[in-house]
């Protein structure tokens, strides 16, 4: 199994476009391909999965540690692994360079060349040599230049890169860039990522050189799954409104429970012993979610009975009393959580987070710490007597707290990852079994 990382000098240079095209093109050429995404985000992961039609996993050293990164990588036995980097090559607590160091994979650096030619080489040289000033071993083995114009522009860049011994492995010309950006910057319209558009990008890449520059991945033995009888059922909302789940979270739950997927847009609550409501775009479907009054009543009643419920991100908004979209129209929702939620134009929180449990709840016990990330445009106005299970040690939460608790339900802005939970989902499973016996 061989692999490469598609990194970048900053966000917005075309990493996702290059990654998707490479994944699709390699699969069409007969390779068995597997994708990963550096960092904690969900949107690019879903784009990968649509193109490859197989699970994509996050690699995040802050959230899961080095052991967790290697554990995720060990899930693949593909011919070729393509890993999309995060933001700039050295940016963040789980940077592309740090992941490259942990797993020993080379980086193909994506550079915006729209306003430069020879300076592209100077930029690449700086990124390549800066690794020696860090604790990381990160090797840049090639470059993809995006937003290039004429053939002369391409040749000038190639000659400049040759001076520093780094090959040009592909370009995205301006017209192809414009097409590709329209397909990867509208996360709710993934059907727009067409094979023809990806083929146009792929044709501009030196695929033979990219695959030959890939390195052998170290062999890691996955942790064997626990052999536990699935004697309970956990409900998982999954549709265009709720689609943000860490794949490993769902896999961990599958070791102990049957997962029952359903759509809050159209379905009633299936027969379940617990409920896990992930994030997504509830604000884009607020009217339809509110109109499914039967499901809202089902969840409210089960929560009052003590059924364990864990909601994160957009799931918090769904469990609140109401959600007001950007147009100001307020829609009634489940009403378990004592809060009113407003969608804003401003990004309210983004980045890694860490929460300390200050009280027991449905997913963890007092004293534990949960790592994850926040990314949302929501403002939650909670009742004065609302109870919180989390004290934020990193991240914003809700005024420094998070994890609103009501009955045996907990709803948080933070998306937590099972690898960062001391006991995994054991507490949640135990609560589900207790409820099932009641």
Ranges in the chain annotated CATH 3.40.50.880? 233-437
pLDDT value for 205 = 95
Distance of CA 85 to the CA centre of its chain: 12
- Spelled out in words, what is the top-level CATH class assigned to the domain 233-437? alpha beta
pLDDT value for 190 = 45
> Taking phi first (over 0 means left), then psi (-120 to 50 degrees means alpha), and beta for anything else, what does residue 400 get?
left
Question: What is the chain's Cα-based Rg?
Answer: 23
pLDDT value for 127 = 98
Residue with tokens 């990193």: 394
pLDDT value for 219 = 67
Classify 280 as helix, strand or coil: strand
pLDDT value for 182 = 53
Q: How far apart are CA 91 and CA 106, in angstroms?
A: 17
Residue whose C-alpha is closest to residue 97's, from 122, 71, 129, 72 = 129
Close Cβ partners of 317 (under 8 Å, ≥ 6 residues apart): 282, 283, 323, 333, 341, 378, 380
Q: pLDDT by residue (tens digit) across 216-245?
A: 987 656 556 555 567 999 999 999 999 999
The stretches of 167-246 forming alpha helices (DSSP H) are 174-184, 195-202, 207-213
pLDDT value for 322 = 97
The rounded average pLDDT for each run of 10 residues, N- to C-terminus, in the chain (438 residues) is 96 93 94 96 94 95 96 91 97 97 97 94 98 96 95 96 98 74 49 72 93 84 60 96 96 94 98 98 96 98 98 97 90 97 92 97 97 94 96 95 98 96 94 96
Ranges in the chain annotated CATH 3.40.50.300? 2-216
pLDDT value for 188 = 44
Domain 2-216 falls under CATH 3.40.50.300: yes
């Amino acid at each position: 199994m061989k692999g490469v990382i598609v990194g970048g000098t900053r966000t917005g240079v075309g990493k996702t476009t290059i990654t998707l095209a490479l994944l699709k093109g390699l699969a069409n050429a007969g390779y068995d391909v597997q994708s990963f995404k550096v960092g904690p985000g969900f949107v690019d992961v879903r784009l990968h999965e649509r193109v490859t039609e197989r699970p994509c996993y996050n690699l995040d050293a802050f959230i899961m540690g080095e052991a967790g990164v290697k554990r995720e990588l060990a899930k693949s036995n593909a011919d070729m692994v393509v890993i999309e980097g995060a933001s700039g090559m050295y940016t963040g607590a789980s940077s592309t360079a740090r992941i490259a160091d942990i797993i020993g994979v080379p980086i193909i650096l994506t550079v915006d060349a729209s306003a430069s030619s020879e300076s592209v080489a100077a930029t690449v040289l700086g990124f390549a040599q800066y690794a020696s000033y860090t604790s990381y071993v990160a090797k840049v083995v090639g470059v993809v230049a995006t937003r290039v114009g004429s053939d002369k522009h391409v040749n000038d860049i190639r000659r400049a890169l040759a001076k520093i011994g780094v090959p040009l492995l592909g370009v995205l010309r301006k017209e192809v860039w414009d097409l590709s950006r329209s397909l990867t910057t509208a996360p709710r319209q993934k059907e727009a990522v067409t094979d023809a558009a990806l083929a146009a990008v792929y044709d501009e890449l030196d695929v033979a050189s990219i695959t030959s520059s890939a390195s052998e991945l170290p062999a890691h033995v996955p942790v064997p799954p626990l052999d536990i009888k699935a004697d309970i059922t956990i409900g998982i909302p999954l549709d265009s409104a709720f689609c943000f789940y860490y794949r490993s979270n769902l896999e961990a739950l599958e070791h102990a429970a049957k997962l029952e997927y359903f759509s809050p847009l159209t379905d009633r609550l299936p027969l379940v012993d617990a409920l896990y409501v992930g994030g997504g775009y509830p604000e884009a479907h607020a009217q339809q979610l509110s109109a499914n009054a039967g499901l809202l009543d089902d969840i409210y009643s089960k929560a009052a009975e003590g059924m364990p419920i864990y909601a994160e991100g957009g799931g918090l908004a769904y469990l609140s009393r109401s959600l007001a979209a950007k147009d100001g129209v307020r829609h009634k929702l489940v009403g378990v959580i004592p809060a009113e939620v407003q969608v804003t134009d401003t990004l309210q929180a983004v980045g890694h987070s860490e929460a300390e449990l200050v009280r027991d709840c449905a997913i963890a016990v007092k004293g534990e710490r949960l790592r994850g990330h926040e990314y949302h445009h929501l403002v939650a106005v909670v009742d004065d007597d609302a109870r919180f299970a989390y004290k934020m040690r990193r991240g914003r939460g809700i005024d420094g707290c998070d994890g609103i608790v009501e009955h045996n339900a907990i709803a948080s802005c933070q998306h937590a990852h099972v690898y960062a939970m001391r006991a995994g989902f054991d507490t949640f499973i135990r609560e589900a079994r207790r409820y099932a016996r009641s």
